[in-house]
Structure 1
Amino acid sequence: MKVNPAPLHLAQTVMTGLVVTMSLAIIGTAGHTLDVFNKQQSSNPWWLPLWRDHFDVHGTKALLASGAVTFVLMTAFLVLSAIPKFNLANKPTLRALAAIGSSACSGILCLGTIIYAFVLNNDAPERDTIQTWTCKYKNGRPLQQDLSLPTNMGNGNFGRLCHESKFALYGTLVVFLLLGSSTILGVVGWCADKWAARQTRKEMETAS
């Protein structure tokens, strides 16, 4: 049976492109929520600055770092695949090692980050994260005498921050699933490459 590994490689490349795109989106959303928190936490009364130790932003930082590392590793694999000098298309074992190594390492990192973020979110209300706090008070209303507060001293953007925080977390879960699929494709693609090479050798031996 003749096996063509090209569709498998194409599928893995497309999946890697999706991972890179999702990682960029996670970096953007997690980075934005953390930036807003850092800028407003000491001045915006909705963040209750007297309770600085009440907030735990390590989960957001972990999501940001995970997205950045995944972006770098998977972009590196795409670049290596595209540079003729490395000729990964004709080096199945090297291509498989690069694909499986980058996706498996990124996947393990994403899984650890997801578990860590969920654990921190479950500590609320004893200790809140950006996600649990903004989602809790996104529809809150200030006291009557505080209605004239400037927009940067209210919770007008808590709804957006809530959605961005959730996107960073669940987007990382999607990336983890894509990386798992990419790892499997890397193994299957390597097996297909080896099978195709074996069939080609047999055909050449038969022809000679």
Structure 2
Amino acid sequence: MKINPAPLHLAQIIITGLVVVFSIAILGTSAHTLDVYNKQRFTNPWWTPLWPQHFITHGTKALIASSVITFVLLGAFLVTSLLPKFNLRQKYTLRALISLGTILPSFLLTLMTVVWAHILNRNAPELDTIQTWTCRYQHSERVAQTSYIPSNLSNSTFKSLCQESKFALYGTLIMFLLLGISMAVTMVTWLADKFAARQQRKEGAEMGTIPS
């Protein structure tokens, strides 16, 4: 039986690319929600500026940190895999070690981030996160329809902030699952590369025994 590892290499690249894309999207949405909160928490009455101790932003900051670290690690692996000068396809054991060395920290970090963010969200309403607060008051009546109040003095952005916060959290969960799949694919790819290399050496030895 002859094994072709090429489809597995392609699958690994695609999954890694998806993780990188998700990390960028999660970084953008979580950083935006935190930026809006930081800019409005002392001026927007909807953020109850006299009650700052009510809000916990550690979960959002953890989402930002995990997405940045995942982007850097998986992006580095993606670059080294695609650049011909590294020739990692021929160095299959080194490729597998680099892959696991970038995936495993990201896998554990995203797992801890998702669990921690969920724990913080469950503390509401005693303590609120950006997600729990904006999602609770996104549909609350702002002002009379004939009046106009700037967005930095109302809850007009709460709906989008709620959606962005949810995307960052559940996107990190998806990223965690993709990283788990990527680890499995890495191991299968390494075994396939090893088996294919052994077959190639065996065929080369057999060809060498054929008299000319």
> What TM-score comes out, normalization by structure 1 length?
0.96
Deviation of 1:4 (Å): 0.7
Report what 2:79 is aligned to. 79
Paired amino acid for 1:32: H
Deviation (angstroms), 1:151: 2.5
Letter in 1 for 2:19: V
| TM-superposition CA deviations, 1:66-122 (whole Å, max 9, x none) | 001000001000111122222101100010011111111111100000000000000
| Aligned-pair CA distance for 1:141 | 1.2
Q: State the number of aligned residues.
A: 207
Write the distance in 1 (CA, Å) between the matches of 2:49 and 2:93.
55
Q: Find the residue that maps to 2:86 and give its secondary structure.
A: coil
Instruction: Please state whether the residue corresponding to 2:85 is helix, strand or coil.
Output: coil
Query: 1:102 maps to what in 2?
Result: 102
TM-score, scaled relative to structure 2: 0.95
Match of 2:93 in 1: 93
The aligned counterpart of 1:37 is 37
Give unmatched runs, 5+ long, in structure 2.
none
2: distance between equivalents of 1:14 and 1:105?
19
Cα distance in 1, alignment partners of residues 185 and 74 from structure 2? 14
Q: Distance in 2 between matches of 1:105 and 1:32?
A: 25
Moved over 4 A (4+): none
Query: For 1:13 and 1:151, how far apart are their aligned partners in 2?
Result: 42
Percent identical residues: 58
Contact 2:80 2:86 in 1 (8 A): yes
Aligned-partner SS, 1:136 = helix
- Aligned to 1:196, the other structure's residue is in SS state helix
Which one-letter code corresponds to 1:53 in the other structure? Answer: Q
Superposition deviation, residue 161 in structure 1: 0.1
